[in-house]
Amino acid sequence: MRVVETITELRTLRNAWPTDNVAFVPTMGALHAGHASLIEMARQIGSKVIVSIFVNPLQFGPKEDFKRYPRPRENDLSLCQELGVDLVFYPKEDELYPNGMEILTVIEPPPSLTLQLCGASRPGHFTGVATVVLKLLNIVQPDFAVFGKKDAQQLAVIQRMVNDLNLPVTILPAPTVRESDGLAMSSRNKYLVSASDRQQARLLHRLLQNVRQLYQQGMETTQEAFALAQEQTLDESLYPDFQLEYLAAVHPETFQPVELLEPDTLILVAAKVGQTRLIDNLALNEAPSATSSGDLHHLLQSG
Ligand code: AMP
């Protein structure tokens, strides 16, 4: 496995490969079993796999956790090595933003996709995401790029950008990997240090599952299902540090809210547990999601 910090080195190595089957997994590091499953999907589809590790300042708000975001370089690199990654792109901030971020051409995704949900509480976030993803796609020039369904709004923004700008890459969505209790894996789960925080973090998935169960039992309107699911799941006296930011039902591509639940409706949730902001989602017709396999746990612990 090669690890490179510059665009020039990356391009030299990538262009020397006699293949049109390069799969790419962009990440911000602090890799966990969710990232590992994306890398495995890339491994299956591509004859060469490139992973980028870059905590992108452009997508963090001024009061967000950019500075304290975990950056366990050695663990991340050994996990990539064990997963058979061919090339890791690990740029410094200057490499991607040599002129800073004040005067920069950016990608503005359609407001209909970004003004609500995470975009409402994180202004500019999806501009930062779309811009860095376009830069990385231009640098790496992969045939496939794998993104997690865990970040559903991000995936919709990227898929839209790729279609609208005719980018020559196929986006592969990957299922959400969860802990055994249902909590979606996330680099930010590292912030959940107390047992109580960890308990409360499980509520996101429980709330989603509860909505799906009510739908399966015949409840048709979003409003009714949400009211009952919240009443059944979120007891404020038991969960004082759990602050729901949104619970929403949307069309999976347009991300517009729906009043009637349909099989392809996407249910999304965001909440703060103490200071930690977590998100999750679930399609009503989705098969029960993958949990991290023993193998992946083994790799992560040895990493
Ligand atoms: P991040 O490092 O958080 O920017 O995530 C990099 C990629 O991993 C994104 O495409 C995420 O959607 C994906 N990802 C993060 N968590 C999970 C998870 N639990 N399951 C599957 N994919 C994930």
Predicted pLDDT of residue 288: 62
Regarding whether 167 and 25 lie in a shared domain, the answer is yes
Residue 151 Cβ inside 6 Å of ligand 1? The answer reads yes
Q: Which domain holds residue 49?
A: 2-174
Predicted pLDDT of residue 301: 46
Regarding whether 157 and 231 lie in a shared domain, the answer is no
How far does residue 149's CA lie from ligand 1's centre (Å)? 8
Query: How far apart are alpha carbons 282 and 264 in whole angstroms?
Result: 10
By alpha-carbon position, which residue is closest to atom 5 of ligand 1?
27
Does a structural domain hold residue 294? Answer: no
Taking the CA of residue 151 as reference, the ligand 1 atom at the shortest distance is 12
pLDDT digits (tens, 9 = 90+) for 78-100: 999 999 999 999 999 999 999 99
Please state the pTM of the whole predicted model: 0.95
How far does residue 24's CA lie from ligand 1's centre (Å)? 13
Predicted pLDDT of residue 237: 77
- Whether residue 295 is predicted with pLDDT greater than 60 in this model: the reply is no
Taking the CA of residue 154 as reference, the ligand 1 atom at the shortest distance is 12
By alpha-carbon position, which residue is closest to atom 12 of ligand 1?
148
CATH classification of the domain holding 242: 3.30.1300.10
By alpha-carbon position, which residue is closest to atom 17 of ligand 1?
34
Q: Could you list the active site residues? A: 35
Does a structural domain hold residue 292? Answer: no
Q: What's the domain count of the chain?
A: 2
The distance in angstroms from the start CA to the end CA of the chain is: 15
How far does residue 147's CA lie from ligand 1's centre (Å)? 7
Q: What is the mean pLDDT of the chain?
A: 94
Regarding whether 160 and 212 lie in a shared domain, the answer is no
Question: What's the mean pLDDT in 166-177?
Answer: 98
Does a structural domain hold residue 299? Answer: no
Do 109 and 127 touch, CB atoms closer than 8 A? yes
Quote the Cα angle for 88-91-94, to 5°: 170
pLDDT digits (tens, 9 = 90+) for 133-149: 999 999 999 999 999 99
Does a structural domain hold residue 293? Answer: no
Taking the CA of residue 37 as reference, the ligand 1 atom at the shortest distance is 21
Task: Out of 28, 35, 54, 176, give the residue to mutate to test ligand 1, the one with the largest number of ligand atoms within 8 Å of its CB.
Answer: 35
Regarding whether 131 and 251 lie in a shared domain, the answer is no
Predicted pLDDT of residue 292: 52
- Residues near 27 by beta carbon (within 8 Å), at least 6 away in sequence: 35, 38, 51, 52, 53
Query: How far apart are alpha carbons 183 and 249 in whole angstroms?
Result: 20
Regarding whether 218 and 83 lie in a shared domain, the answer is no
Does a structural domain hold residue 268? Answer: yes
- Residues near 197 by beta carbon (within 8 Å), at least 6 away in sequence: 191, 241, 273, 274, 276
Does a structural domain hold residue 6? Answer: yes
How far does residue 69's CA lie from ligand 1's centre (Å)? 14
Predicted pLDDT of residue 18: 82
How far does residue 243's CA lie from ligand 1's centre (Å)? 23
